[in-house]
């Protein structure tokens, strides 16, 4: 039987790897295979649509691993909300809260920023990319 610390390490490494894949496929779709790039552009024989499917499923894998991570740390999370935190854990809690706020800010940012068009883009068709 595997001990809990090795399991947590495995889950954390798996979460990191799946997160890197989510980010990589997202960047690939956003900047390398932009919207309306058509079926003519492919990477490793896959179109933007196929990369989108991979991105979608890897995201669910990441969320499943994240759920397992939270389950394994549930005692710590419960103790935080009950106020039973050790002084040695205070910096860890602060770091976690700052990280949580950063992630929430990044998640909300696309919905609150406004799109601005410069004078150079006026009159041009948006979405047409140079080859």
- Note the pLDDT tens digit of each residue in 33-80: 778 776 678 888 888 888 899 999 999 999 999 999 999 988 887 877
Least confident of 2-6, 53-57, 86-90, 93-97: 86-90
Q: Where are the domains of the chain?
A: 4-72, 85-113
pTM score above 0.85: no
Spatial separation of the C-alpha atoms in residues 15 and 70, rounded to whole Å: 11
- 13-17, 26-30, 42-46, 123-127 — which one is most confidently predicted on average? 13-17
Q: What residues contact 40, with CB distance under 8 A and at least 6 apart?
A: none
Helices (H), the chain: 4-27, 48-72, 74-82, 90-112
Spatial separation of the C-alpha atoms in residues 5 and 23, rounded to whole Å: 27
Q: What is the DSSP letter of 87?
A: G
């Amino acid at each position: 039987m595997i001990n809990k610390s090795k399991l947590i390490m495995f889950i954390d490494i798996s979460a990191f790897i799946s997160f890197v894949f989510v980010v990589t496929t997202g960047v690939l779709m956003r900047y390398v295979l932009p919207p309306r790039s058509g079926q003519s552009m492919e990477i490793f024989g896959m179109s933007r649509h196929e990369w989108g499917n991979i991105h979608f499923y890897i995201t669910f894998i990441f969320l499943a691993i994240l759920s397992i991570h939270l389950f394994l740390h549930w005692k710590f999370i419960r103790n935080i909300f009950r106020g039973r935190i050790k002084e040695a854990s205070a910096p860890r809690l602060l770091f976690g809260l700052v990280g949580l706020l950063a992630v929430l800010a990044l998640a909300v940012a696309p919905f609150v920023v406004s799109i601005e068009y410069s004078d150079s883009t006026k009159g041009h068709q948006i979405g047409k990319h140079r080859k």
